[in-house]
A = this chain, B = another copy of it.
Amino acid sequence: MRVVVLSGGVGGARMARGFDRLSEVDQTVIVNVGDDETTHGLHISPDLDTVIYTLAHKEGPHGWGRADDTFHANDELGRFGVNNKFKLGDRDLALKIFRTERLQTGESLSAITEQARAGFGISTRVLPATDHRLRTQIKLPDQSWISFQEYFVHRRHTDEVTDLRFAGSDQAAPAAGVLESIVAADLLVIAPSNPPLSIWPILAVEGIRDAVERHPATVAVSPLIGGKPVRGPADRVLASLGLPAGNEGVLAAYQGLLQLLVIDETDAADAPDLAVEVLVENTLIANPEAAARLARAIVESPN
C-alpha cells in the first residue's frame, strides 16, 4: 500500500514513524521547506531534519534536534558575539554542514536529503516539497513581515499572525518524485502539523495543491487535541487568519482537499458539525506504538 504523508516538523515526523512501522506500507514523506533558514552560514532545514531524525529514532527529547546531543560548538559561537539562541547540537551540525557544502557544489536539496536518508539507514522515502527556495513569511499586526524562524524561534510564536506568504512559491517546482508519488499513492495523509504554517507552504508549490485536490483518498489528521495543538500555535494562527475555532478551522484550512478528517477522541463532539467524513481516534502519537496504532486505524478506515 503506497502512502504519501505531507509533513511539517515534529507532529508530521511522528505520524510518518507510525506508517513506517506498518509492514504493508510503502511510504513517501513530502516535507515542508518553508521554515528553511540560513543560520551561521549553514543551510537549516528544520522539518526535513526532524523527519529524518525521527524516522531514525534519533530525535531529541522535545522532538527536534538529535538525541543525546552536546552543544559545544553552539556555546562557543557565543564567544564571537554571534546570536546562538537557535541551539544547534554538535551531532545535528554534521547534517547542516554536509547539506550546506553539497548545496554549494550545486547538488539539489532532494539529492542531499536522499544521501542523508541513506546515511541514517531509513527505508521510507523523504522528499522536500521543492528544491527551489520557498520561505514562509509572517505578517504582524504592525504590517511588517518577518521570517518563520524569527517568528517561531526568536519571538517564540507569541505574535498574532495576520497573514502569510510563501516567498518564492511562484518559482518553486515540486522536487523530483513529489507529484508522481502523490498521483500513485493509494492513500494521501496530511499529517497533524500546523495547517497554515507547515502544510500550506507545501500546497503552495506549483502543482501540489492540484494533485492533492484530485487525489481520491486524502485524509488529514487534525493537530488539535481538546481544541489545542500538542505544541505550537496552530489554534491561534487559525483564529488570527479568520478561520473558525477547533476542527472546523482545520477543515476550513484544507477546504476542498479532504475525503476524511481524523480528530481526537477528546474532540468527538465536533464530529456532527464537520462537513466531511470523520474518524475519531486517539491522536496523541508521541510514542511510536501510539503512532503505529493511529496509522493502522487510518489505513483500515473504510474511507
Chain A residues with a Cβ under 8 A of chain B:
40-42, 69-70, 72-77, 79-82, 89-91, 93-95, 97-98, 100-101, 104, 115-116, 119-120
Contact = CB atoms under 8 A, between A and B. Distances in A.
25 contacts: A41-B97, A41-B100, A41-B101, A41-B104, A70-B70, A70-B72, A72-B90, A72-B91, A73-B73, A73-B93, A74-B94, A75-B94, A76-B91, A76-B94, A77-B94, A77-B98, A79-B94, A79-B119, A80-B94, A80-B95, A80-B98, A81-B115, A81-B119, A90-B90, A93-B97
B98 A70 contact: no
Listed from nearest, the 3 A-B pairs whose CB atoms lie closest are: A41-B101, A76-B94, A72-B90
B77 A120 contact: no
A29 to B, nearest CB: 19
A101 B70 contact: no
Given A69-B72, A93-B93, 18 more contacts: A40-B98, A40-B101, A41-B97, A41-B100, A41-B101, A42-B97, A42-B101, A72-B72, A72-B90, A73-B91, A73-B97, A75-B94, A76-B94, A76-B95, A77-B97, A80-B94, A82-B98, A90-B90
Contacts of A94: 72-77, 79-80
A94 B104 CA distance: 20
Contacts of A104: 41
Contacts of A41: 97, 100-101, 104
Contacts of A90: 70, 72-73, 76, 90, 93
Contacts of A79: 94, 119-120
Nearest to A89: B72
Contacts of A72: 69-70, 72, 89-91, 94
A74 B91 CA distance: 8
Which of A74, A97, A119, A120 has the most C-beta atoms of chain B within 10 angstroms of its own C-beta?
A97
Contacts of A115: 80-81
A48 to B, nearest CB: 14
A38 to B, nearest CB: 9
A118 B80 CA distance: 8
A89 to B, nearest CB: 8
A225 to B, nearest CB: 34
Contacts of A93: 73, 76, 90, 93, 97
A119 B73 contact: no
Nearest to A121: B79
B73 A116 contact: no
Contacts of A101: 40-42
Nearest to A104: B41
A222 to B, nearest CB: 35
A80 B23 CA distance: 27
